[in-house]
Structure 1
Amino acid sequence: MRVLVAGGARVDAGKTTFSTGLVARTDAVGYKPRAGNDYWFDHDDFRTATAEGRLYGKDARKLAAASAASVEPEEINPVHRLWRPSPGGGTGLLGRDDREFLVDRVADGYVVNGTVDLPDAVRDALALADAPRVSSVGAFNDLMTERHLPAQRDLRAEVAAADRAVVESYADVARPFREIDPDAVAVVEPGRVRVYDGERYAKGCAVASGGPAAGQLEERVDDVTDLVDPATEARLPPLSAEARADPRSVADAYDHAYDAVLATAFE
């Protein structure tokens, strides 16, 4: 069983809460192929990880803790990007006008943005002395081919071989892997989840991307869900912070929604 959890809203969709509860309900392993957090807005999470000389986010930490197998955040999240705000100037190396990337963790190594001055806390906490530094998009693309893609392929093979896997996408990206068709897809947003047949959702992704020849960009959830009708949907009640922190409590509160996901996955 492989279930993909995607977000119907770019931020704060509730993907991780829903995913941890589904992991607890099914005794699955949760995966987060790509993730990122912000040195400024997520500084407490940054400090928690770097206190051990590591770099990961709270989503991967929660998924790892909820998983049936004993896994570390880095094992289920091979690529993690650390951002920071970039107010008032330029588009930066990756073409963003609101933030700039500082460091990528790829498996157990790092890639550094050579066009910015890293905060002292980043330089001091992480083993960056031998990390490659990129100063152009071309050089970054070359390193992605060399490092990022193999890390993603390794995780993809692990997900494909898993007996029960819950894969959480990132931001509003429709799917993190093109090569694996999920059995069911849960598109989560505040207040509801829409459940899709995995094969139909994958076909919608292919149409939204323009097909294999044209599909160089990631599909967005809204572009796919505009093309595919959900098999069913369910309301999601708001949960307290205490309940959200306990995957078993989430599993109980969202039991009806998980029934719908599993019915779709196994039909």
Structure 2
Amino acid sequence: MLRLTILVVGLCAEHAGKTTLTRSILRCLREIGMRPCAFKPKAANNLWYDFDVVYESLSKGRLYGLDAKLLREESHTPLREEVINPVHRLWNEGEQPEYILDRIFADGKTILILKNLTEINRMVKGLFDLLCAKADQIIETTDEDLTTKLLRYYERGIKNSFTEISKNHDVVVVESYSDVALPWEKLKPDIVFGVKPWEISIYDAEKYVMAVDILHGGEISTQRVTALLEPTKRIKILPQPSAQVVDYMKERARPILEEYV
């Protein structure tokens, strides 16, 4: 039964440290005796820059990113990466990047929403063929579609994954994307961790969600939200070697987590 929902957000758009902090929180909670699981409602990869992990997943007829893979491993859960991350967008590189497809996982089924796949798939010699062959539903779309009828697929995938994780774990650690303040409008966190280089900030969850509601309309950045709030606590962090950073952040977050569990 779900006891606690933790939200991790980035206080800057790139390289904030969200996934590292999320892994640290998961590890700490497990040591405390909880059964936590990560949840990343939305994620994205760039086909060019993230080709290793894209190739790995597409070779299996699936699509997920490195974050989902790391978060699943740290969660010690039998749930697959697509449950951890139900909505995954794949971008194409360019001066004006366009997305190639969205992979949505809902009700145990894979739904692909395709926008610019045909030419890309030809150039990469059919790398996407297995993904398409294993998909339960394929939808060709336009930008206009995305603002109307297709939005229900995204909502269904996110809601179903959150429900599935909540049934199997007592703490859900939700990682946002980029510097988006709330990755799912129906999310009701009990505590909010914000992270950027040199600092972790803790926010009162009720006031944080209220600030998001006040600023309603599209995706709200953490910068706009935190301009309205003072953190309840600031924790200084220092750069660490890659092999040590998760354990280091774990100990920095431990006193806060122990207050809640």
Short-chain TM bin: 0.7 to 0.9
Residues 109-168 of structure 1 deviation map (CA, whole Å, 9 limit, x = unaligned): 21110587223334334216862111x322233452342121122123345554211000
Residue matched to 1:259: 255
Residue matched to 2:66: 58
Identity of aligned residues (%): 28
Residue matched to 2:56: 48
List gaps (5 residues or longer) in structure 1. Answer: 88-97, 210-214, 245-249
Q: Name the aligned partner's letter for residue 149 of structure 1.
A: E
- How far is the alpha carbon of 1:192 from its aligned partner? 0.9
* Alignment match of 1:99 (pick from 87, 97, 100): 97
Q: Name the aligned partner's letter for residue 80 of structure 2.
A: E
* Alignment match of 1:30 (pick from 31, 38, 47): 38
Matching of residue 184 in structure 1 with residue 191 in structure 2:
yes
Q: Name the aligned partner's letter for residue 185 of structure 1.
A: V
Once the two structures are superposed, the pairs formed by residues 63-212 of structure 1 within 5 Å of their partners are 63-87=71-95, 98-107=96-105, 108-114=110-116, 117-120=119-122, 121=124, 122-127=127-132, 131-134=138-141, 136-158=142-164, 162-209=169-216
Match of 1:206, SS state, is: helix
TM-score by length of 2: 0.85
Quickly say closer, same or farther: Cα 1:262–1:171, change in 2 above 3 A.
Answer: farther
Q: Distance in 2 between matches of 1:114 and 1:38?
A: 13
Q: Distance in 2 between matches of 1:168 and 1:106?
A: 17
TM-score by length of 1: 0.83
Quickly say closer, same or farther: Cα 1:227–1:49, change in 2 above 3 A.
Answer: same
Residues 22 and 251 of structure 1 are in contact (CA less than 8 Å); yes or no, is this contact kept in structure 2? Answer: no
Q: Distance in 1 between matches of 2:187 and 2:143?
A: 28
Residues 78-120 of structure 1 deviation map (CA, whole Å, 9 limit, x = unaligned): 1000001122xxxxxxxxxx31100110112211105872233
- How far is the alpha carbon of 1:205 from its aligned partner? 0.9
Using CA pairs below 8 Å that are at least 6 residues apart, which structure has the higher relative contact order?
Answer: 2
Quickly say closer, same or farther: Cα 1:251–1:241, change in 2 above 3 A.
Answer: closer
Q: Distance in 2 between matches of 1:20 and 1:140?
A: 32
Residues 53 and 125 of structure 1 are in contact (CA less than 8 Å); yes or no, is this contact kept in structure 2? Answer: yes
How many residue pairs get aligned? The number is 243
Match of 2:178, SS state, is: coil
Matching of residue 10 in structure 1 with residue 13 in structure 2:
yes
Residues 35 and 170 of structure 1 are in contact (CA less than 8 Å); yes or no, is this contact kept in structure 2? Answer: yes
Q: Distance in 1 between matches of 2:165 and 2:193?
A: 17
- How far is the alpha carbon of 1:260 from its aligned partner? 2.5
Q: Distance in 2 between matches of 1:46 and 1:105?
A: 12
- How far is the alpha carbon of 1:47 from its aligned partner? 1.2
Q: Distance in 1 between matches of 2:215 and 2:45?
A: 27
- How far is the alpha carbon of 1:252 from its aligned partner? 4.5
Q: Name the aligned partner's letter for residue 106 of structure 1.
A: I
